[in-house]
Amino acid sequence: MNSYDAPADDELTARILDAALAELRDYGLKRTSVENVARRAGLARATIYRRFANKPELVRVVAVREVSRMMEHVTRRVASLPTVQERVVEGFVAGVRLARDDSLLTKLLASEPETTLPYLTVDSEGALAAIRLLLVAQLMDTPEPLGLADPEATAEVMVRLGLSVLFAPRGHIPLDTEEDLRAFATTFLLPLLR
């Protein structure tokens, strides 16, 4: 497994990832260690190292799993909407709200931005790929053909705009309320579908 792939859904890997997530929630990024994750999971450190080369890889896989869970929640929330345009707008609103409300993410960004931001920016290939693939599926799941030349590029631009809303929420464009987010998505994301 490379550091950006989600591991197989076996029980032992899930146990390790659950323990790592709990450690991150309780102690943050800096104070979480593979040894503490092993202790919490009731495993030897060597068992964790057989699945994950090091702590950064373990943290990346935890992040990818959590992002995938969030995106699956958003996908379920917008599944009944009739058009891809409505799913894009409401999915954007739901995704931003979910990310803003995530206690782990907000805690880590507030307490350890210098450690957390690299996982969400320069080392974000796994999370970016997970979101992009789920968004591509939403863009392609429509009775009306969109005619997108490159659906993955369109999805990636949307994801990158969403990340900028999370990391730089203050500016000229209001982004505080759900209505603000809907207006942003309508104005700046929907034109990408044309």
Number of domains in the chain: 1
pLDDT digits (tens, 9 = 90+) for 103-114: 788 788 888 888
Question: Would residue 130 count as lying in a domain?
Answer: yes
Question: Would residue 158 count as lying in a domain?
Answer: yes
Q: What is the pTM of this model?
A: 0.79
Residues 6+ apart with CB under 8 A from 92: 158, 162, 181, 184, 185, 189
pLDDT digits (tens, 9 = 90+) for 73-110: 988 999 899 888 899 999 999 999 988 887 788 788 88
Residue 158: CATH number of its domain: 1.10.357
Question: Would residue 64 count as lying in a domain?
Answer: yes
* 137-144 contact pairs (CB < 8 A, 24+): 137/75, 138/75, 138/78, 138/84, 138/87, 138/88, 138/91, 139/84, 139/88, 139/193, 141/84, 142/83, 142/84, 144/83, 144/84
End-to-end CA distance of the chain: 37
Question: Would residue 142 count as lying in a domain?
Answer: yes
pLDDT band for position 145 (50/70/90)?
low
